[in-house]
Copies of this chain bind each other. A is one copy, B any other.
Amino acid sequence: MTGITEAPRLTPAARRVLDVATELFYTRGINTVGMELVAERAGVTKKTIYDRFGSKQRLVVAYLRARDARWRDFLAAHQDPDASPRARIGATFEALDAWMRQENQRGCAMVNAYAELSDPEHPGRAVAEEQKGWLRDLYTDLARECGATAPGTLGSVLAMLHEGAVVARNVTGRPTPP
């Protein structure tokens, strides 16, 4: 059941590269971080990066997948599968709050990537789209379990609140979670 995000069996150096890239791309932005800086911070030559990842585009995709996987794991760890659907919705927002408090100082990585990767062909955009679809489906399923009359609508609204909360916390101060 771990087949959603494949495990690409990274070499030790590739692992370091991905970790460093994840940190740098998120905090400084994808376009402002060059491959040379990634190589230097990972204690690796550019050659090694290109041998392992092929191109910056693919490294970016790997970065986005890694961020997404980390968030899903985080959420799963903060969820009690046996709790009521209503409680699980609340727990999701609480997990988001905790997530932002500790690992998220620059907003949503997917939204940021979508802003930076203006080329519609960039495969990173598809990762972000998939992630947002997943999030909406998550809330829609919870709404359905709650017995909502229009689970699709409620799920979308919850997802929008989720997204808006991230933006609000990022660009302004504290939000007020309901």
CB-based contact A172/B118 at 8 Å: no
- Residues in B with CB closer than 8 Å to A111 are 107, 111, 115, 167, 171
Given contact pairs A112-B115, A115-B116, A161 touches B157 in the complex (Cβ within 8 A): yes
CB-based contact B161/A167 at 8 Å: no
A106 interfacial by beta-carbon distance below 8 Å: yes
- Residues in B with CB closer than 8 Å to A129 are 171-172
- Residues in B with CB closer than 8 Å to A175 are 156, 160
Q: Which residue of B lies closest to A169 (CB)?
A: B160
Stretch from A27-35, A64-72, A82-90 forming part of the interface with B: A27-35
- Residues in B with CB closer than 8 Å to A160 are 160-161, 164-165, 167-168, 175
